[in-house]
Amino acid sequence: MTDDLGRSPPHLNTLVLLTAMSVLSLNMFLPSMAAIAAEFDVDYAVANLSLGGFLAITVILQVVIGPLSDRYGRRPVMLWGLAIFTFGSAGCLWAASIEGFLFWRMLQTAGVVGIALSRAVVRDMHGPQEAASKLGYISMVMAIAPMLGPTVGGLLHESFGWRASFVVYLVMGFGLLALCWRDLGETNTDRAATMGEQFATYPALLKSRRFWGYALCSGFSVGAFYVHITGSVLVGAEVFGLSPSSVGMSVGAIAIGFSFGSYLSGKLAQRLPLWILILSGRVVGLFGLLLGLAIVLAGFVHPVTFTSAVIFVGIGNGLTLPSTNSGAMSVRPKLAGSASGLSGAMSVAIGAVMTSVTGAVLTPQNGVLLLYGLMIGCVAISLLCAIYVRWLDIKEPLEETSEAA
């Protein structure tokens, strides 16, 4: 390790802050959405493009950012991404029309480098098990930030107006750009000489059954989370008659479980094989949901039992996701950035599909049972993917023995 600027590996706290910025860029301004629509005199659906469009471009960017960082390095791609995010934040702050606001908001999607490349940096620096441990601690931020973000955004809006959130984004962008300039040394020491050489190695990743097993396990684990946050709003309000604040607590229960599960991953990943944590997480999530469903079928339909069941989903995801992310990036370590970006894009895409399906089929009449059914379906699929990866580990223990593994 060297202390030269641009060469010293980053501290874990830097990666945690980058991950928090990426998460907050999605949701902190959400309480201001109605005010944004009113100020620019447009329908709420138009203003909501600042969320839907953001997610769509995020999927695309994650696919692109990973390969770029594999070829040119993590540091330059991270710095450019943060600079564009900062520039977009300034544009949103001073936007005078909805068209301008949406344009600058789409530039803010460059902030996805924070979460996509932080994972790759961790894998560059550590072996699979230690990487899973570090990712477990980073994942705790992914549980806390979604809960705190809208709360902070709401307070900022009430105190200073909707543009206050974008002042915070601007400050975060500048601050993290300066921090990464000083602390984020290059960790990708095995780069391809040209983009042509880089692309020539992709089939080794895309043909890997093990990579797709890890990525789909992650995707459907995240899918269960999206089903919950989409459906719990309807179930809490329409079925249980909860107040908005109580609905928020119900929705946030899964994040509490995820934070605890991620903490356990951080503690256990260096001592246990990845497959044990992955399968344990899937079993814990499925057990909690089946127990909750059994209680509902027995006639006990109550918000406490419902919320308690989904906490197990959060714990299971916290145990599973750091290890599946590490596993996906370990299939071809030279393509860790590409693997991180592609698996992350798949998770967002599966989450978006499950959000749409849940919103389309859920009603107050079928709400509780169907919500359980959709979550159980996602967790069951992720469990099958985890079992498949374990089967590959036993059948073909060395990935390098088969380019198509």
Query: For residues 281 and 210, what is the distance between their CA atoms, to the nearest angstrom?
Result: 18
310: helix, strand or coil: helix
**Would you say residue 231 lies in a domain?**
yes
Specify whether 128 is located in the same domain as 214: no
Cα four-point dihedral sign 341, 347, 350, 351: negative
Q: Copy the structure tokens of residue 349.
A: 């895409």
The total of structural domains in the chain comes to 2
Cα four-point dihedral sign 231, 236, 241, 244: negative
Specify whether 332 is located in the same domain as 389: yes
Give mean pLDDT, residues 55-60: 86
Q: Which domain holds residue 338?
A: 202-395
Specify whether 143 is located in the same domain as 270: no
Query: For residues 166 and 108, what is the distance between their CA atoms, to the nearest angstrom?
Result: 10
Helix (H) or strand (E) holding 84: helix 74-93
Specify whether 16 is located in the same domain as 46: yes
| Reported confidence tier of residue 2, pLDDT bands at 50, 70, 90 | very low
- pLDDT tens for each residue of 118-138: 988 998 898 888 888 888 888
Last residue of a domain, one of 132, 151, 183: 183
pLDDT reading at 400 higher than 80? no
**Would you say residue 404 lies in a domain?**
no
pLDDT reading at 341 higher than 90? no
pLDDT attached to residue 316? 95
- CA dihedral of 276, 279, 282, 283, whole degrees rounded to 10: -90
Give mean pLDDT, residues 194-213: 79
| Reported confidence tier of residue 144, pLDDT bands at 50, 70, 90 | confident
Specify whether 307 is located in the same domain as 366: yes
**Would you say residue 287 lies in a domain?**
yes
CA dist list (Å): 40 to 33, 46, 55, 123, 196: 11, 10, 22, 44, 45
Q: What is the percent of the chain with per-residue pLDDT over 70, rounded to a whole number? A: 91
143: helix, strand or coil: helix
Q: What is the percent of the chain with per-residue pLDDT over 90, rounded to a whole number? A: 40
Q: Which residue has the higher pLDDT, 186 or 197?
A: 186
**Would you say residue 75 lies in a domain?**
yes
pLDDT reading at 210 higher than 50? yes
Highest mean pLDDT among 113-122, 155-164, 275-284: 275-284
Specify whether 338 is located in the same domain as 387: yes
pLDDT attached to residue 399? 47
Specify whether 175 is located in the same domain as 214: no
Q: Which residue has the higher pLDDT, 290 or 306?
A: 290
pLDDT attached to residue 30? 79
Q: How many CB atoms lie within 10 A of CB 122?
A: 28
pLDDT reading at 261 higher than 80? yes
pLDDT attached to residue 47? 87
Specify whether 117 is located in the same domain as 215: no
> Is residue 314 within 8 Å of 258, Cβ to Cβ?
yes
Q: What is the CATH number of the domain that holds 264?
A: 1.20.1250.20
N-term to C-term CA, the chain: 34
pLDDT attached to residue 189? 83
Query: For residues 364 and 215, what is the distance between their CA atoms, to the nearest angstrom?
Result: 33
| Reported confidence tier of residue 3, pLDDT bands at 50, 70, 90 | very low
pLDDT reading at 93 higher than 50? yes
**Would you say residue 403 lies in a domain?**
no
Cα four-point dihedral sign 202, 204, 206, 211: negative
What DSSP letter does each residue of 4-60 carry, written as one string?
A: STTTSPPPHHHHHHHHHHHHHHHHTTGGGHHHHHHHTT--HHHHTHHHHHHHHHHHH
Give mean pLDDT, residues 32-50: 87
Query: For residues 76 and 81, what is the distance between their CA atoms, to the nearest angstrom?
Result: 8
Last residue of a domain, one of 121, 151, 183: 183
Cα four-point dihedral sign 199, 204, 207, 213: negative
**Would you say residue 388 lies in a domain?**
yes
pLDDT attached to residue 15? 93
**Count helices and strands in the chain by DSSP H and E runs:** 17, 0
**Would you say residue 71 lies in a domain?**
yes
pLDDT reading at 55 higher than 70? yes
**Would you say residue 401 lies in a domain?**
no
- pLDDT tens for each residue of 366-392: 778 898 999 999 999 999 999 999 999
Specify whether 246 is located in the same domain as 129: no
Q: Mean pLDDT of all residues in the chain?
A: 86
Query: For residues 274 and 320, what is the distance between their CA atoms, to the nearest angstrom?
Result: 9
pLDDT attached to residue 5? 54
189, exposed or middle or buried, with CB in 10 Å at 0-12, 13-18, 19+? exposed
pLDDT reading at 1 higher than 50? no
Specify whether 221 is located in the same domain as 355: yes
Please tell me the least confidently modeled range out of 33-37, 300-304, 324-328, 399-403: 399-403
Specify whether 209 is located in the same domain as 156: no
pTM, 2 dp: 0.80
Specify whether 167 is located in the same domain as 289: no
pLDDT attached to residue 154? 84
Give mean pLDDT, residues 275-299: 94
Q: Which residue has the higher pLDDT, 363 or 2?
A: 363
